[in-house]
Amino acid sequence: MIPDPSTPFGARTRERLRDDTLVWLTTVGDDGTPQPNPVWFLWDGETFLVYNRPDAQRLRHVRTRPRVSFNFNGNQQGGDILVVTGDAELTESEPLPHEVPEYVAKYGERMKAISGGTLEGFSHAYPVPLRVRPTKVRGF
């Protein structure tokens, strides 16, 4: 699914999947309107993992319309575009965010900053995991 790493686009895609910290996750609302939201994500080589507040509307959206997209920020000149579309599902078997070493390595200080200084506080506020399996990657 991810472009060949020997190509410039494939190499840049892998770099962004590893290093970017914010992406726009777009779900589709009840009335058919796209609903983009900035989210943190972890790429494991096959799927994206996004943690959510229990009251996030996107959770309701993916229950009935699981097709989503991840839109990465461009370079402000119309380049470095990356869009990943995929199928989202709510999962029950994921550990809490503070129990995922890779997630903590990527976001630990930010997790503490928005949750009163503890990783566990973040997990209490954002306990609902969402997995997205990519089906298409495009960009330039």
Q: Residues 109-122: pLDDT tens digits?
A: 999 999 999 999 99
The answer on pLDDT for 1 being more than 80 is no
Domains and CATH numbers, the chain: 8-93+129-139 (2.30.110.10)
Given this model, what pLDDT does residue 128 score?
A: 98
**pLDDT (tens digit per residue) in 124-133:** 999 999 999 9
* Distance (Å, whole) CA 99 – CA 104: 8
